[in-house]
Amino acid sequence: MTKPVTKLRVEDKLYQNRYLVDSGRPHIKVRPHERPSANLLALIHVCPAKCYELNDKGQVEITPDGCMECGTCRVLCEASGEIEWNYPRGGFGVLFKFG
Amino acid sequence: MIEEEFDAIVIGAGMSGNAAAYIMASQGLRVLQLERGEYPGSKNVQGAIMYANMLEKIIPDFRDDAPLERHVIEQRLWVMDDSSHTGVHYRSDDFNEAKPNRYTIIRAQFDKWFSRKVREAGATVLCETTVTELVRDGRGKVIGVRTDRAGGAIYAGVTVLAEGVSGLLGTRGGLRQMLKPEAVALAVKEMHFLPEEVIEQRFSLKGGEGCVIEAVGTISHSMAGLGFLYTNKESISLGIGCLVSDFAAMRESPYALLDAFKSHPSIRPLIAGSEVKEYAAHLIPEGGYKSIPQLFGDGWVVVGDAAQLNNAVHREGSNLAMTSGRIAAEAIVEVKNRNAPMTKRNLSLYKTLLDKSFVVKDLRKYKDMPALLHTNACNFFTTYPRLMSQAAQNFMRVDGTPKIEKEKATTAAFIKARSRLGLVSDAVRLALAWR
């Protein structure tokens, strides 16, 4: 059972970081879909903050609170229109202490 | 005629933006710099090694007050398999010089310092401000920007896009294409804190000396990637990055890769007992020369990571960023001093000067390397590292096997893995891409 362990580890990692979450204004949205494309599905594994998860209907959902704004999901899924990606409003989002 | 409040707007306060803003402000231009983070550096991530030469060309006496961690006296290049590393180490007392050549830095601290210099030079720096759109006139010339702050557009003679690797504004504004997954790497990194004396003991360092390790091999799970470990004063920056296209195809998780790298027997003892205080992720442009987009246009130039100026082979990025920012600024200052308009034609001076610099010359030298590494990731990052480890172990282990038989076994292993033709072809292609 490696998955729950991995999940725990990422949350532990993200816990070290500083964020100013812009409540109610997620900077990334997943377009409603029936079946996710291969790239969208890959984000469940590839997103370094594990923001993407599969719901029980087999659709991909995002909770961008732990997002480090790397842009990987944008590179993989913006062209197809499956996600909408914007920078958070000025001052919001991840605030690296060391970078 | 719209009144220009500024001679130049710089978007972003990373290495390239700070270099550009500093040079232009120092030369008396009215400069506005916009940064979306709470403070300069809060969105920026780098390994990080900073090369002195390129900063000296901007701020010659930077050593007086810049927050520098350690000057690098030892570099270790490792090829790793699951239980070993084979390495080339270069350590020299010559690097203990009055003006050292390379330093480790912590970006959030360094960028705050650089930004202070920019403000002291006379630029207006506005943080917590996300630029949402480029403003153009009827002919398509970029004449300013709109931000998420209240109030209308801000106008300037020229806009310097130093917006970083993601480059939202430039790609959405049609100035350049979207990043391709095979031309960009995703890197994750942790900051491991340890007492200064523990770091110095583990790496045999004294008085501000630093050691850096860069590693390829089975750590990247057959993807094109690189692991790194850099010593700071009281911390170790440790991370790993691989091409986004490989991550997506293999469905690998970067944090799992990082944890595996950390628990490798060659790495684990170096960070034992550390306290992790941050986990970061960032993209790195890897496409090289062939990915460099249009660098200038009517009323705009693009610099740094946004222009894909990164030397993946030598792991140099921030120095190319700084240099492109400086050169773009110098070109703008020259156009301004001629009282000429910031047209595409006049701003082409930036590219002319950049082409003559090490930035474009180095990227041109390795123009075929990204494609080679991308298409042969399994061979270069798994097969050869395993073969090298086996060969080294076979050579070192004394077990009564006659040496001639050991050598035959090693040769046979290489041929079995890649065939004679494959070996020759790999060597030739690598040599050609390196040339």
B127, B190, B253: residue with CB nearest A46: B253
Residue contact A90–B147, C-beta within 8 A: yes
Strands A52-54 and B275-285: unpaired
| pLDDT > 90: percent of chain A | 91
**Where do the domains of chain A lie?**
2-87
> Does residue B19 sit in the same domain as residue B111?
yes
Task: Tell me whether residue B310 is in a domain.
Answer: yes
- DSSP type of residue B163: -
Task: Tell me whether residue B73 is in a domain.
Answer: no
> Does residue B344 sit in the same domain as residue B231?
no
Q: Is A49 on the interface with B (CB under 8 A)?
A: yes
- CATH number of the domain that B127 lies in? 3.50.50.60
**Using CA atoms, how far apart are residues B232 and B86, in angstroms rounded to an integer?**
24
> Does residue B215 sit in the same domain as residue B151?
no
> Does residue B315 sit in the same domain as residue B382?
no
Task: Tell me whether residue B384 is in a domain.
Answer: yes
Residue contact A42–B248, C-beta within 8 A: yes
Interface of B with A in 329-388 (CB under 8 A): none
For residue B355, the number of C-alpha atoms closer than 13 Å in the C-beta half-sphere is 7
> Does residue B316 sit in the same domain as residue B189?
no
Average pLDDT over residues A28-43: 97
Domain A2-87 annotated CATH 3.30.499: no
Task: Check pLDDT > 90 for residue A7.
Answer: no
10 Å CB burial of residue A1 (0-12, 13-18, 19+) is exposed
> Does residue B32 sit in the same domain as residue B140?
yes
Q: Is B279 on the interface with A (CB under 8 A)?
A: yes
Residue at a domain's end among B285, B316, B350: B285
* Beta strand spans in B128-218 (E): 131-136, 142-147, 154-161, 184-193, 209-217
> Does residue B210 sit in the same domain as residue B240?
yes
**Using CA atoms, how far apart are residues B323 and B299, in angstroms rounded to an integer?**
20
> Does residue B119 sit in the same domain as residue B207?
no
> Does residue B148 sit in the same domain as residue B208?
no
| pLDDT > 70: percent of chain A | 92
Residue contact B180–A75, C-beta within 8 A: yes
What residues have CB less than 8 Å from B145, skipping those under 6 apart?
A: B9, B11, B34, B131, B132, B133, B134, B135, B153, B154, B156, B159
A69, A70, A97: residue with CB nearest B186: A70
Q: What is the pLDDT of residue B151?
A: 85
CA distance B237 to chain A (A): 10
> Does residue B298 sit in the same domain as residue B383?
no
The confidence band for A3, taking pLDDT boundaries of 50, 70 and 90, is: very low
Task: Tell me whether residue B86 is in a domain.
Answer: no
Instruction: Give contacts of B255 with chain A, Cβ < 8 Å.
Output: 6, 9-10, 13, 48, 50
CA distance A98 to chain B (A): 5
Task: Tell me whether residue B14 is in a domain.
Answer: yes
φ and ψ at residue B421, rounded to 5 degrees: -65, -45
Task: Check pLDDT > 80 for residue A2.
Answer: no
**Using CA atoms, how far apart are residues A30 and B186, in angstroms rounded to an integer?**
21
Report the SS3 class of residue B271.
helix
Instruction: Give contacts of B252 with chain A, Cβ < 8 Å.
Output: 45-46
Task: Tell me whether residue B81 is in a domain.
Answer: no
Task: Tell me whether residue B273 is in a domain.
Answer: yes
Helices then strands, counting H and E runs in chain B, come out as: 16, 17
Q: What is the pLDDT of residue B202?
A: 98
Residue at a domain's end among B229, B251, B285: B285
Reduced 3-state DSSP string for A13-78: HHHCCCEECCCCCCCEEECCCCCCCHHHHHHHHHCCCCCEEECCCCCEEECHHHCCCCCHHHHHHC
- ipTM of this model? 0.94
Q: Is B190 on the interface with A (CB under 8 A)?
A: yes
Q: Is A64 on the interface with B (CB under 8 A)?
A: no
> Does residue B162 sit in the same domain as residue B309?
yes
> Does residue B199 sit in the same domain as residue B145?
no
pTM of the model: 0.95
Q: Low-confidence residues of chain B, pLDDT below 50? A: 1
Residue contact B181–A13, C-beta within 8 A: no
- CATH number of the domain that B266 lies in? 3.30.9.90
Domain count, chain B: 3
Mean pLDDT, all residues of chain A: 92
Report the SS3 class of residue B283.
strand
Task: Tell me whether residue B89 is in a domain.
Answer: no
**Using CA atoms, how far apart are residues B231 and B98, in angstroms rounded to an integer?**
20
Task: Show the DSSP H helices in B143-237 as ranges.
Answer: 168-172, 196-202
Range of the domain at B396: 370-434
Q: What is the pLDDT of residue B322?
A: 98
